[in-house]
Amino acid sequence: MNKINRMRRSFFILFIVSCMTVVGQNPIISNQFTADPTARVFEGKVYLYPSHDIPSPIDRLKEWFCMEDYHVFSSEDLVNWQDHGVIVSQENVPWVAPESYSMWAPDCVYYNGKYYFYFPSAPGGEQRRGFAIGVATSDKPYGPFTPEANPMEGVTGIDPCVLIDDDGQAYIYWSGRGMSVAKLKKNLLEIEDEPQQIEGLPEGFKEGPFVFKRNGIYYYTFPWVRDKTEVLAYATGDNPKGPFTFQGVIMDESPVECWTNHHSIMEYNGQWYLFYHHNDYSPSFDKNRSARIDSIFFNPDGTIQKVIPTLRGVGITSATAKPVQFDRYSAISSSGVAIDFVNNDNLFEGWKLIFNEKNSWARYNRVDFGNGNAKKAKIRVFSKAGGNVSLSSILPDSKTIAMFNVSEKNDWQEISVTLNNKLEGIHDLQLTLLSEGELQVDWISFE
């Protein structure tokens, strides 16, 4: 396929996927892999610029990172995400080596009426060595973006991050051959001074810098191999170029040993959030990763409280818009609950809860019943032995709202019951198995 046809195909794919809405707790995007999530607030919405991991179509990258393009997503509630489709692809950047599949971690900033999308990739032709960083510009946060013909001069590496300071001066940070910073010229396309190394960071492999300013403090945050896999760590300083003082770890190693982590931190509607990735939809191959969000909190002295990854994630789930996925629980009983994929042939179909002990339970917090229009609850359930499950509201007050009597069946079944109580506003819910034997739950919906 020649370059023109490849570009046509990209725009056709862009047309098909734009306007698709993807809903998620953690991981937040369920229609594709999304790594290295950089989140920015533009025009009152959150825009997410992740890398786009794919299973490699070429042998050379079968066991490595493989990315050919970038999508952008937006959300107003951090729950419902609109996929705006492909904004930059290796096929429409003149300097990127064909079939290099190296569109690694990006960033995007707004400056003087334009959006600047920074991305690393493998240069082709004469320049072909290591990684370079390119820029694409747009009038809108969701594109279309026009890539510059050449990568930035004097910037060799990966994981660009741009900070625009309060005085309007922009700085670019990147990794590869150490952790570097340089001032950007007013055009945001070129560096203004010699890159310098960041001082004050701990020994050990580091990458993925993300720098932000809060209450006059510059936070230099980064993935760091403290032991075997990456943790997220941070240092602080009073100058955008450092030196910085190492402060500690924001997030420990992934419990499922995803070797990389990569993050961004931003404030939206008065709450700070950490965007990061694990390999939820690809448990046996950690180069196919998925973006997650959890809330992050600062102490009065500006230090950061450690973030424990959750499945429930952030935001309020509408009771009636989509089924509620209790497998993305807020809490579970200390025994008798397991989680597994619904369909091992398509992991993007998500997970199910498996209750296997009487009185085992799972909680799912912050479900919004609005004005109380929901009259019925439906459960998708699998139980060869049959059994009974109760659904309760445990906050703001404690009451049973539905009982499901599940008959024996060697297949999934959906059971609909009338709610015992009218529910209004936001509730924390609990599902409890009241019988012996195994019972699996895919979801609960309300109408």
The phi, psi pair for 271, rounded to 5°, reads: -120, 140
CA-based diameter of the chain, in Å? 72
Comparing CB distances to ligand FUB, the nearer of 160 and 315 is 160
Cβ distance to ligand FUB smaller for residue 32 or 325: 32
Q: Cα–Cα distance between 229 and 53 in angstroms, integer?
A: 19
- Of 22 and 133, the one with the shorter C-beta distance to ligand FUB is 133
Name the strands in the sheet holding 132-138, side by side, starting at the edge strand that comes first in the sequence: 107-111, 114-121, 132-138, 146-147
Q: Least distance in Å: CB of 363 to ligand FUB?
A: 32
Q: Using the 8-state DSSP alphabet, how is residue 142 labeled?
A: T
Instruction: Indicate if 153 belongs to the active site.
Output: no
Q: How far is the CB of 277 from ligand FUB (least distance, A)?
A: 7
Closest approach, Cβ 193 to ligand FUB, in A, equals 24
| Burial per residue of 275-305, b for 16 or more beta-carbon CB atoms within 10 angstroms, e otherwise | bbbbbbbbeeebbbbbbbbbebeeeeeeebe
Q: How far apart are CA 200 and CA 156, in angstroms?
A: 21
Exactly one of 36, 69, 253, 286 is catalytic; name it. Answer: 36
In the bound state with ligand FUB, the residue whose beta carbon lies nearer, of 228 and 301, is 228
Nearest approach in angstroms of CB 87 to ligand FUB is 17
Torsion 325-362-407-436 (CA) sign: positive
Nearest CA to 206 out of 218, 195, 198, 196 is that of 198
State which residue, 208 or 240, has the beta carbon closest to ligand FUB: 208
207 is a catalytic site residue: yes
For ligand FUB, which is the closer residue by CB, 262 or 278?
262
Element (H, E) at 14: helix 3-17
Residue 325 in tokens: 């996925």
Residue 233: alpha-carbon gap to chain centroid = 18
**Would you call 54 helix, strand, or coil by DSSP?**
coil
Q: For residue 159, which amino acid is it? A: D
- Provide the b/e sequence for 314-329 (b: ≥16 CB within 10 Å): bbebbbeeebbbbbbb
- State whether the Cα torsion 197-201-203-206 is positive or negative: negative
What's the closest the beta carbon of residue 100 comes to ligand FUB, in angstroms?
13
By beta-carbon proximity to ligand FUB, the closer residue of 70 and 443 is: 70
Q: Determine how many CB atoms are found less than 10 A away from the CB of residue 219.
A: 21
Q: How far is the CB of 105 from ligand FUB (least distance, A)?
A: 4
Least separation in angstroms between residue 51's CB and ligand FUB is: 5
Q: Which of 189, 196, 193 shows the shortest CA–CA distance to 174?
A: 196
- Active-site pick, 207, 253, 286, 327: 207
Task: Compute the least distance from the CB of residue 367 to ligand FUB, in Å.
Answer: 33
Which of residues 51 and 221 has its CB atom nearest to ligand FUB in the complex?
A: 51
Judge whether 103 and 151 are in contact, CB under 8 Å. no
Binding site for ligand FUB (CB under 6 A): 35-36, 51, 65, 104-105, 158-159, 207-208, 260, 262
Place of tokens 């230090």: 303
Give burial (CB, 10 Å; 0-12/13-18/19+) of 134: buried
Catalytic residue numbers read 36, 207
